[in-house]
Structure 1
């Protein structure tokens, strides 16, 4: 790093759905002023409601000096929203044509030194850079829901990205108490979502084939792998599985089983029958508990879990290195 402080003072958020509103809440909690734009009817009302719902959790996490829920303003055009912003976070729906159109408008009206970060979960930055006047300042900055709690943000540069933009963005997201993970090579789905998608596909097969219900699949993760992954992830978990000799012995002993056809790499066809199994399974599992109550319990759990994770891994060499 050439500097130790970021240069972002004003932020614009384009697209205020679940992810966009999560970003706004996090930005506000860290004392930033935010310009917002979303042409959907009722967008501002939904944003202010989402911020209010997230604020008690953010108070538990700790607010920056001067942080309030009121430092966000909605503006009528993209031009007005981005013209004075140092960083623009784009969060429109995951359609390539729509994202390219919106990013082109952002690129046209943003300051020359502004960072443009797309929250896309799957599209590669080089694809999004096509046709931009200043493609060198666009990166993928992909967060995870709920954005105002979870610290991981994947930073992915495209073929034309200026490395300095990655450096500046890393410093900024770290100032939000996030864990920027720089993805070494751009690939569809980036890193974390590719891992989650593999598990999701296998889970759908297990439900589709009648091996397990949605509740049983969830229990298998909650009380088994999930508890370990929150602390160590899959590689260190398997490193311990090898005993005193670690991963070396683990691969020698269990490596041959990787060739057994246990898993199914392709997703099952999403038939109406499978959809109903998944939907009714989730509804039965949730019971009378509302989505709002589930979100509240999730948030409380994540805040406590983050404290526990940080106590065991106060510094992550991988995520701190740029």
Structure 2
């Protein structure tokens, strides 16, 4: 496959939360979107989602030509992908389903059409084994929820994915305002979900053991390290934590205590009893707030942080020299 063809038309397969969010993002970037899903009432649900997401996307900045009217829907997957320049697949996490689907897409699509998957649990090597002709154009493009707001996308090739495909899809997602991360090895859960799972394991342990309530665990995270993680990643913060000596001094000072903590981290078993304790503690934290209210609160703060980071990253460099 060799192509510099611009991507103007995207097919979305599966319009649940992730697929609908991708659709909203692509529309906001001025693309044509054809979506497909066999679920009952999928089309009106998708259009409601896009309409609800539009004010946030407008606030972040719509591309020229961005319009909800560029969204069309069909229940026929092969009709949806006809004429598409890229396919974003968001189907069930079942390898038998995906292998069959990718075989059908591989037969139906020209070789220069990229097929990306939002799969978080399956490897592309498994998925693309269903393609008999052009497995090299298949790649994982895993977003972080909700994709229309969260910039992260993890790009993972399979054993047969070409470097050209990796580069094309990286350029595409970057043009959509995403922050791509390239994984050089396939791992279950990829990167962000593994990081999240490692932290969640310790949170579950601390609450289950009665060390803290769910509310206090969430406060410790969101007003402690989580507040910093919204600005810089863990390793860069380690570099700052080392003071003038940077990351080198950080390891000199903290390797001993840090590795000692690793040895006593929790290994909770999510038994029904532990789950009930966690659930009860979370509901106590939530109180009378609805899921929609919590989501709106989350999204408003995410928008503010994204806007702030964009202003800082796009600001002209300033000199540290004192003005005479």
What SS does the aligned partner of 1:232 have?
A: coil
**Distance in structure 2 (CA, Å) of the matches to 1:66 and 1:218:** 41
Structure 2 residue aligned with 1:248: 248
TM-score w.r.t. the length of structure 1 is 0.91
Q: Which residue of 1 aligns with 2:319?
A: none
CA 1:228–1:74: 2 relative to 1, 3 Å: same
- Say whether the 8 Å CA contact 1:202–1:264 is kept in structure 2: no
CA contact (8 A) 2:60 2:307 kept: no
Q: Distance in 2 between matches of 1:266 and 1:116?
A: 40
Q: Who wins on radius of gyration, i.e. which is larger? A: 2
Provide the aligned length of Structure 1 versus Structure 2.
Answer: 313
Q: Distance in 1 between matches of 2:65 and 2:20?
A: 20
1:40-60 CA deviation, whole Å, 9 max, x = no partner?
A: 111112111111111111111
1:150 is aligned to 150
| Alpha-carbon offset, residue 184 of structure 1 | 2.1
User: CA separation in 2, counterparts of 1:152 and 1:288?
Assistant: 31
| Aligned 1:106-255 pairs, distance under 5 A | 106-133=105-132, 134-255=134-255
For residues 312 and 263 of structure 1, what CA distance do their matches in structure 2 show?
39
Which of structure 1's runs of 4+ aligned residues deviate more than 6 A? none
CA distance in 2, matches of 1:60, 1:259: 44
Q: What does residue 293 of structure 2 align with?
A: 293
Partner residue in 2 for 1:45: 44
Greater RCO (Cα-Cα under 8 Å, separation 6 or more): 1
Match of 1:85 in 2: 84
Displacement of 1:160: 0.7
Query: In 2, Cα distance between the equivalents of 1:48 and 1:280?
Result: 35
Q: SS of the counterpart of 1:120?
A: coil
SS of equivalent residue, structure 2 residue 72? strand
Structure 1 contact 90–103 (Cα < 8 Å) conserved:
no
Q: Which runs of 5+ in 2 are unaligned?
A: 316-324
| Corresponding residue of 2:279 | 279
Q: How does the TM-score come out when normalised to structure 2?
A: 0.91
Structure 1 residue runs without a partner (length 5+):
316-322
SS at match of 1:113: coil
In structure 2, the residue corresponding to 1:70 is in which secondary structure?
A: helix
